[in-house]
């Protein structure tokens, strides 16, 4: 009976060894699965982050100085004021108006920021103007009827007694009546009207105007 008992013991020891080996194998497998299921338990190299998308700025952004829609665009324009001193030369340039032409989205146009620059009187001009004063004659000015097409021969004219405008300076007052870029009429005179009796003074110009 001894040999069979010894054989059973050996068989039992062999089965126990196989059981422990299987348990050890399953334990290693569970630890591996734990590493995959729970991030951060075992340090592993992280996947590279995708490159950031490039920022593209729109080239259609409106400049801060650009006019708002509907506000219109403006361009510089100039037109000449002419006068006749009665010396036989006819109308000659007496000064220049400068302005900004504003064109609206719906097509209408108007003038803004009007400025006037007087030409200096030459010695001949002074002599001619003195003669007009002595004769109590008329001083006449004119403007083009269209400020964008000054080649046309149409003008608006205004006259005043030359003695009505001198004060401490040649105190002229110009009122321009316009419809868009067309000058309908011009009023020329002094700010305070014409004095009587009209004094004779030889003075320089001091201009004021209303658009």
Supply the pLDDT for residue 191.
72
Residue 113 has pLDDT above 50, yes or no: yes
Supply the pLDDT for residue 37.
42
7 and 98 both lie in a single domain = no
Number of domains in the chain: 2
**Structural domain that includes position 1:** 1-39
Between CA 11 and CA 15 the distance in angstroms is 6
Supply the pLDDT for residue 91.
95
pLDDT band at 156 (very low <50, low <70, confident <90, very high): very high
Between CA 71 and CA 207 the distance in angstroms is 31
108 and 15 both lie in a single domain = no
Residues 74, 64: contact at Cβ < 8 Å?
no
Between CA 18 and CA 80 the distance in angstroms is 117
The 10s digit of each residue's pLDDT in 17-38 is: 545 444 444 444 444 444 444 3
Identify whether 173 is part of a domain: yes
182 and 86 both lie in a single domain = yes
Supply the pLDDT for residue 203.
55
């Amino acid at each position: 009976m001894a040999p069979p008992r010894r054989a059973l013991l050996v068989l039992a020891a062999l089965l126990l060894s196989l059981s422990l080996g299987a348990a050890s194998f399953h334990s290693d497998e569970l630890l591996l699965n734990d590493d995959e299921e729970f991030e951060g338990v075992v340090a592993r190299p992280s996947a590279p982050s995708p490159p950031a998308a490039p920022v593209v700025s729109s080239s259609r952004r409106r400049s801060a100085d650009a006019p708002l829609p509907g506000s219109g665009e403006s361009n510089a324009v100039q037109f000449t004021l002419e006068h006749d001193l009665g010396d036989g030369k006819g109308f000659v340039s007496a000064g220049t108006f400068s302005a900004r032409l504003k064109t609206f989205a719906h097509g209408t146009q108007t003038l803004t920021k009007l400025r006037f620059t007087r030409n200096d009187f030459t010695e001949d001009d002074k002599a001619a103007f003195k003669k007009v004063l002595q004769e109590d004659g008329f001083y006449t000015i004119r403007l083009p009827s269209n400020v964008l097409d000054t080649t046309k021969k149409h003008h608006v004219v205004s006259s005043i007694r030359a003695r009505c405008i001198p004060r401490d300076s040649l105190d002229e007052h110009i009122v321009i009546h316009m419809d868009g870029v067309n000058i309908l009429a011009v009023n020329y005179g002094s700010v305070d009207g014409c004095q009587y009796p009209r004094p004779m003074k030889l003075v320089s110009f001091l201009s004021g105007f209303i658009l």
